[in-house]
Structure 1
């Protein structure tokens, strides 16, 4: 099933009673609240409209939105020392004005085929193309980002797509990779100045060199160009693929660590948060003598780009996880947490 009634999924959006727009993160939410980050706020001028408060999807920028909320809307900050081990932003159900679902926006655009603006038409064409080549029905696609909110600029905004279900996402991934090889498909990866700019930006925002950023982009399948418009594709879980409930895991954050790990299973890494099962660990941090079972990334840059059997070098926060459902504890390393303050990374081991 794509979605249960009242279910909030990764890349949904919420409009609050103050007309703030939050983007939903993941699938595991506290009772009566929805974990999400603040993305757009109303412009404080006579022209109206919205401005993007989250300039980049990085921890320093997320922290800026938390500071803004603490000062102006503290009810959207929650402190959780057990399940997540930190503070984060979330919206109480009582403060939700609209719940915007990406798959419903696709249905709307299909129904309004003759009344679309340039970007909506391009997005629809892209989805129909992906559906045709992959064999995935259009009902399993969604549109997120500014097009979902209807605040997009047809000239400058990107196309941000969701695909629901692991099997469907893998089919779309295979189709996209095939289309990159076909000049007539309209799809291409970043090249030339666009690629150089992307790599330079990532080297400024993350603890990466330009060469390391270029290697990461070589592996990334879900960001490119469709007929002169930048796009992103975000695999999203079907309802029966959500296996965790809030409170089933208790998190004990430890220290920032440096480790090398060998990936055992990368299947769940296609989703956000991205989870890689690990089978071997080499700890490079002194006094750390534990075996790592999982590598988890809340940073989308590292989602779905590493493979089974591959060794990667990681800097992240060590966490001990009490899994109450399975009655056991294990260790994982998390990339993209507030505690790391943007100093964490995953890199292929040369």
Structure 2
């Protein structure tokens, strides 16, 4: 087994408030990724991504790892069965059992921003790191996005990547900068000869994986949504950039609401979307309204809460959509707001059956 440099300047103390898509290890070397901005105070809601394994493809230092999580709710649920039993807890906010690692069990926590700074200051050690640095500098030079608002995550952040098969996953932090990038992809491609937009046919593999996970979703509906998806290639290498809210920007704090599931399996509801303000982030929020529903005694669904990341950022204000999801009653716990109803897309019980698709105006 090849030895690798285990210098890890991106290691930081566990922050008081974690962010979506941060990477950390527990005391037994298992690797997790934080899941969303709704985070409990004493634990970290996350998914189990890599486990130590003598025959694993991923290598960091002298340790090998196998990949556990491959995307989607079913894979996340499978990962829960491989995590320690005491990491599975009933979450009063979400009303279900979730994988939440105790903060006391976190052994290593990585900063994507510091890892990016290491690459920029010390120089790239391989082609993937070179692409990371070039992408960051291009976004900074073209759009004025501060370098400290960018980071690199995934296996690169903890130096387990391999240029022969690893992807590049970057983050952009902050509501304003995330939307600035979302609205400026064309500008980045037009002003830089080494950059271009990802074309629809280049999303085929991604769309195929989504349809395989959600077989009830027609392929053509998936393609219609993906005509809106934004992505960049840097010298023909695809680089994903995930929008991440800062902790004080989160529109929902853990414990500020509680969710009660009203339907044991997904139902289909048509809605008109009135706000996409938080549609870029995870969980994505789309405000809107359905028709009065008999199951709710004539009340309407007014929010979509989306944990299925494949649909993040693809819905617009004014869209008419059909949503397949779990209907939940939302009870605010810290103010006097009235209860309301939402559709949860990306639940454990609805894995493989939950989606959003555009419908005609008629």
TM-score, normalised with respect to structure 1: 0.90
Aligned residues between the structures: 339
Tell me the equivalent position of 1:136: 145
Name the counterpart of 1:272. 282
Q: What residue in structure 1 maps to residue 94 of structure 2?
A: 84
Written as runs of structure 1 = structure 2, the 5 A alignment for 1:172-321 is 172-180=181-189, 184-192=193-201, 194-206=202-214, 207-221=216-230, 223-255=231-263, 256-278=266-288, 280-282=289-291, 289-321=298-330
Distance apart, 1:197 and its partner CA? 3.3
Equivalent position of 2:6 in the other structure: none
Q: How does 1:34-113 map to 2 (within 5 A)?
A: 34-45=44-55, 48-55=63-70, 57-69=71-83, 73-80=84-91, 82-113=92-123
Show structure 1 runs of 5+ residues with no match. Answer: none
DSSP 3-state at the match of 1:199: helix
The answer on whether the counterparts of 1:257 and 1:318 sit within 8 Å (CA) in structure 2 is yes
Contact kept? 2:142, 2:191, Cα under 8 Å: no
Pairwise CA distance, 1:325: 2.2
Offset from partner CA, 1:118-174 (integer Å, 9 cap, x none) = 111111101111111111111100111111121111132221111111110111122
- CA deviation digits over 1:231-283, x for unaligned, max 9? 211111123312443222111111132111111110111111000111x3136
Q: Does 1:330 align with 2:340?
A: yes
SS in 2 for 1:116: coil
Classify the secondary structure of the residue corresponding to 1:266.
strand
SS of 1:184 mapped into structure 2: coil
**Is the 1:158–1:231 Cα contact (8 Å) retained in structure 2?**
yes
Change (3 A) 1:137 1:182: closer
Selected match of 2:130 from 121, 126, 148: 121
Q: Distance between the aligned counterparts of 1:25 and 1:107, measured in 2?
A: 24
Higher helix share: 1
Aligned counterparts of 2:349 and 2:277: Cα–Cα separation in 1: 27
Distance in 1 (alpha carbons) for counterparts of 2:204 and 2:282: 26
User: Which residue is equivalent to 2:168?
Assistant: 159
What is the CA-CA distance between 1:42 and the residue it aligns to?
1.0
